[in-house]
Amino acid sequence: MTNLLKTTAILVCCLCISFAGKAQQNGTQDRAFWVETLTRIADPVLTNLNNNTLKKNMPYESLSKDRSDFSHLEAVGRLVCGIAPWLELGPDNTPEGQLRDKYIKLTVKGLKNAVNPDSPDYLVFGKPYQPLVDAAFLAQGLLRARTQLWDNLDPQAKEWMITEFKRSRAIKPWENNWLLFASMVEAALLEFTGECDMDRLTYGVKKFRDEWYKGDALYGDGPAFHMDYYNSFVIHPMLTDVLLTMKKHNLEGADFLDVQLPRLTRYAEQLERFISPEGTFPVVGRSIVYRFGAFHALAQASLMHVLPERVKPAQVRCAMTAVIRNQMKSPKNFDANGWLRVGFTGEQIDMSESYINTGSVYLCAVGLLSLGLPATDEYWSAPYTEWTNLRAWKGESDVKADHALK
C-alpha cells in the first residue's frame, strides 16, 4: 500500500509538471525571466541604432526580396512599442532600475539617429506603404513612455521626429486595421504638438465603431472577419490608445472609450482562455510568427488594470510566463549575433507571409507590456496562480462558464 501511495504521488507530481510546463516560480523569478527575455530581444536593435550601425549589421530574412528598405523601422518601431512601459518606470538604484537606465539612454540616442537626415541609420518614414505601420508603432511607444523617451529627446530630435511622423501622411491607409495606424500617428502628433489631421485621427475610429464590430469584443479587419490575432496585434490596443488621447484632449467621439474598454476587458478574458494547460496557444491566422505578440491586448489590459474580475493578474502572469518559456526555449530563435529569426518558436520562415521580415518579428515585444507594472503590483507580487485552462483540465470545481459580452 505504501508503494502504491508513493507511485500515486509521483504520478500526480508528474501530471502537475506536464500541465504547468515548469516548476512553479514566484513573481520575482518570473519578472527576472521576462526582463532577461526583453533585453535579449532588444539589445542588438538598440545597441546598433545607438551606434549608427543598425543598417550595417541587421540581417534581412524574408520570403520577399523587396522590403529591406522598411525592415529597420519595423524593428525599431515595434520594439519601442513593447519596451516603452518598462522604460517609463524610470531608473532607480535596483539592478533592474539601473538596467532600465541603460536602455532608456540607448533608446533616446538611437531614436535621434533614426530621424537625423545625416545619420547612417536615418530610417524611411514616407515611402509607401509599410512605413505608416511602423511609424504608428513608434508613436504608440512614445505615448507609452512620454516621460522617459519623448521628454528626454532634445529639441532637435523632437523636431525631426515630428517631421517624420508628418511625412507618413503621404501614405493612404488601406480600409482595414491600417486606418488605425494613421489614427495612432495623429494621436501622437496631437499629444506632442497640440495639432493633428482630425480626419486621419477619427476616420478609423468611426469605421471600427460604426461598421466593423462583429460582436463579443471582436472587430472585423475591415468589413470582413478574419480568424487571426489582429484584434490583439493592432485593433484593440491602438483603438484604445487613440481614444485615451482623444479623451485627454476633450475631442468629440472620445466617449466611445466607455464602450471600447469593456470590449478590451472581454477580449483579454478570451485571450487568457486561449492559453493551454501546457502554456501553448492556437497556431491560427496570419502573422503568427510575431510569437507572443499575439497577446498584446491581454498585456495591455493587464497594464491598464482592466482585466475582468474573475481573471486574476497573477494567473495572467503565470500563463504568459509558460507561453514565453515555450516559445523562447529553442536556441534557433536567435541567430549567432543575437538577432531574432523569423519563426513561431525557432527558425520557421515558411510560417510567415511575404510582408514579414526580420524587423517585423520584433512585435513580439508587445507581449511583454506588463513589465511596465512595478514589481510591487499584484501582477508580480502575488504567488503562483493557475490559469483558466490549467484549472479546467485538472477538474477544479471553481472554473466558471464563459459568456459572451452583451
- Give pLDDT tens digits for 204-250: 999 999 999 999 999 999 999 999 999 999 999 999 999 999 999 99
Q: Return the H-helix or E-strand segment holding 213.
A: strand 213-215
Sign of the Cα pseudo-torsion (356, 366, 221, 204, in order)? negative
276-309: pLDDT as tens digits? 999 999 999 999 999 999 999 999 999 999 999 9
Q: Is the pTM of this model over 0.85?
A: yes
Q: Say how far apart CA 300 and CA 9 lie, in whole Å.
A: 39
Which ranges in 251-381 belong to alpha helices (H)? Answer: 257-274, 296-303, 313-328, 378-381
Q: What is the DSSP string of 313-348?
A: HHHHHHHHHHHHHHHH-SGGGB-TTSPBPSSSSSS-
More confident residue, 37 or 9: 37
Which three cell numbers, joined as nine digits, stand for 286? 496570419
Is residue 5 included in any domain, yes or no? no
In a domain, 365, yes or no: yes
Q: Is residue 272 part of a domain?
A: yes
Domain assignment of residue 7, yes or no = no
Q: Which three cell numbers stand for residue 107?
A: 533608446
C-alpha 305/C-alpha 141 separation (Å) is 18
First and final CA of the chain: distance in angstroms?
54
Q: How far apart are CA 99 and CA 390, in angstroms?
A: 34
- Report the number of distinct structural domains present in the chain: 1
Q: Which of 258, 234, 257, 218 is nearest to 184 (CA)?
A: 234
For residues 330 and 212, give the distance between their C-alpha atoms in angstroms, rounded to a whole number.
38
Q: What is the mean pLDDT of residues 94-99?
A: 98
127-163 pLDDT per residue, tens: 999 999 999 999 999 999 999 999 999 999 999 999 9
Give the tens place of pLDDT for each residue, 340-369. Answer: 999 999 999 999 999 999 999 999 999 999
What's the average model confidence in pLDDT over 175-188? Answer: 98
Question: How many C-beta neighbours within 10 Å does residue 206 have?
Answer: 14
At position 220, the amino acid (one-letter code) is G
Q: Which three cell numbers stand for residue 284?
A: 491560427
Q: What pLDDT was estimated at residue 24? A: 83
pLDDT range class, residue 98, cuts 50, 70, 90: very high
State the pLDDT at residue 2.
47
CATH number of the domain that residue 176 is part of: 1.50.10
Q: Is residue 86 part of a domain?
A: yes
d(CA 271, CA 252): 31
- Tell me the pLDDT band of 20, cut-offs 50, 70 and 90: very low
Q: Which pLDDT belongs to residue 73?
A: 98
d(CA 141, CA 233): 14
Q: Considering the chain, what is the average pLDDT of its residues?
A: 95
Residue 51 lies in a domain: yes
49, 51, 325 from 387: Cα distances, Å:
38, 42, 16
If we measure between CA atoms, which residue out of 102, 43, 6, 88 comes closest to residue 371? 88
Does residue 12 form part of some domain?
no
Range of the structural domain that residue 198 is part of = 30-393
Report whether 56 contacts 120 (CB < 8 A): yes
SS3 90: coil
CA 260 and chain centroid, separation = 18
pLDDT above 70 coverage of the chain, percent = 94
pLDDT for position 23: 62
Backbone dihedral angles phi then psi of residue 344, each to the nearest 5 degrees: -85, -45
**How many Å apart are CA 179 and CA 305, to the nearest integer?**
27
Residue 40 has pLDDT above 70, yes or no: yes
Asked if residue 309 belongs to a domain, the reply is yes
